[in-house]
Copies of this chain bind each other. A is one copy, B any other.
Amino acid sequence: MPKPKKERILEEAERLFAKRGYDGVSLREITNEAGVDVALVKYHFGNKQGLFDELLSRRAKALNRERSDALDAVLERHDPAPVEEVVDAFTHTLLNKVVSEDPSWRSYFGLLAQVNNNPDWGGRAMSKHFDPLVHRFLDALKRALPGCDEADLYWCYHFWSGALTLTFADTRRIDGLSGGLCHSSDFEAVHKRLVPFISAGFRALCQKYEENDREHH
């Protein structure tokens, strides 16, 4: 049984939109790659925007639950939880999906990178799907960093989000910049480094009082 054509459209659209953005891909390019007729887009998704919205939301729900569960697991062990563990719970899920699981997740995160960096309507689209989850994580971080300024916290998340976004954009710039030492698609390398990098940033800005026990790991 061949894959249903609706799904073929979604796959190709995800792949192409992730690479060249909403305006950089035409419906015919998608449907040609998928081997289906253009009119199917209207039938299944209404129009181009409907197709894009469907791509955005179809994976968001499962992803949100998974990351929320990861946070729960951390908070169950200790609350307030160390900054590192909260940051890791947020990032771990994403990078694991890219590294080991169904590679189509990689396209999805590429899509999110496009959306998150879109000055026109990206902010609203991201907020619509992910703000509640982000608030859960920021609440946990607030408890981990008592007395911290709320604005500091949000800006830290902003920097964090930017680092993740550029990672998933996968522009291969670091490949040339590093002379082949690093590879833009080496998400394992990112995984190892992003958590300590971001956690240190949070502590530097949001940790008001020095604590004695700084045991991490």
Contact = CB atoms under 8 A, between A and B. Distances in A.
Given A166-B161, A200-B201, A150 B178 contact: yes
Nearest to A203: B200
Interface stretch (A14-22, A47-55, A97-105): A14-22
A182 B155 CA distance: 8
Interface string A177-190: 11001101000011
Nearest to A194: B159
Interface string A188-201: 01100110111111
A110 interface: yes
Interface in A147-177: 150-152, 154-167, 169-177
Contacts of A176: 123-124, 127, 131
Interface residues of A, number: 66
Given A158-B174, A166-B161, A176-B123, A204 B194 contact: no
- How many copies are assembled? 2
A113 to B, nearest CB: 7
A170 B131 contact: no
Contacts of A172: 119, 123
A127 B203 CA distance: 32
Contacts of A164: 162
A117 B156 contact: no
Given A155-B182, A166-B116, A181-B154, A199 B193 contact: no
A24 interface: yes
B151 A197 contact: no
Given A19-B119, A23-B23, A182-B151, A193 B205 contact: yes
A177 B175 CA distance: 33
Contact of A197 (B113, B177, B204): B204
21 contacts: A20-B23, A21-B24, A24-B120, A116-B166, A116-B173, A118-B169, A118-B171, A123-B184, A127-B173, A150-B178, A151-B182, A152-B193, A154-B181, A155-B197, A162-B164, A162-B165, A162-B166, A196-B201, A196-B205, A200-B201, A201-B201
